[in-house]
Amino acid sequence: MYNLKKILSVIIILAFGLTGCKAADIAVDRNAEKSAIADENSISGEDGSSTYDSTRTIDQIEESDGEKVEGSLGNEDKNLDDENVTSAAELDFLDEDGYYYDVESVVLYLDTYDHLPGNYITKSEAKALGWEGGSVEDYMEGGAIGGDRFGNREGILPDNSYTECDIDTDGESSRGAKRLVFTDDGQYYYTEDHYDSFTEIIIVDGEIEYGEVYN
């Protein structure tokens, strides 16, 4: 009887030992399985964290690169715009053989070529064509009166020797009230009220600036 109890005790102890080992193995297997699933989810994006972060990082990089490219293109456009900025004196329309009527073009033409554009003729030259007053375009296509001496009888301008020409007469029926008065040494005065007042015109770095008013 004693031997039977002893045998049963041994069997029970062995049974508990085997059961504990199996449970431990099962726990290990379950932990390993959970770890594998977590790794899978991290790669596949099932938990929405790892894949999202990676995608967001790529998007941020692409967006940053895009901004850099756009910024670079913007700078190139600005540089091109700067290169295309030229003064009126450098433009092709101020060809020496061209016809010009507005005050700025005529001033820059005089400053460049030291003579009036070819569309200007003196009063005596116009009279030789039959002109008696008003617009000279009926006698010379595109013509304008200019090149005669301006006496400065009112003494509004500084003492000097002046020449005058009509301004903005292209297509007009009369000579109008606008005149440019200038000297051989590069002084320019513009009147829009037929000699009642003048505004000095100065050329700075090839650009027109308006200076002192004389009246």
Query: Rounded to whole angstroms, what are the CA distances from 51 to 42, 46, 203?
Result: 7, 9, 66
Q: What is d(CA 168, CA 144) in angstroms, rounded to the nearest whole number?
A: 9
Q: Which of 63, 70, 194, 209 is catalytic?
A: 194
Strand pairing report for 198-204 and 188-191: antiparallel
168: left (phi over 0), alpha (psi -120 to 50) or beta: left
Q: Which of 164, 172, 200, 207 is catalytic?
A: 164
Residue 115 appears among annotated catalytic residues: no
Residue 164 appears among annotated catalytic residues: yes
Q: What is d(CA 131, CA 133) in angstroms, rounded to the nearest whole number?
A: 6
Which residues does 56 contact at the CB level (< 8 Å), separation at least 6?
none
Residues acting as catalytic residues: 164, 194
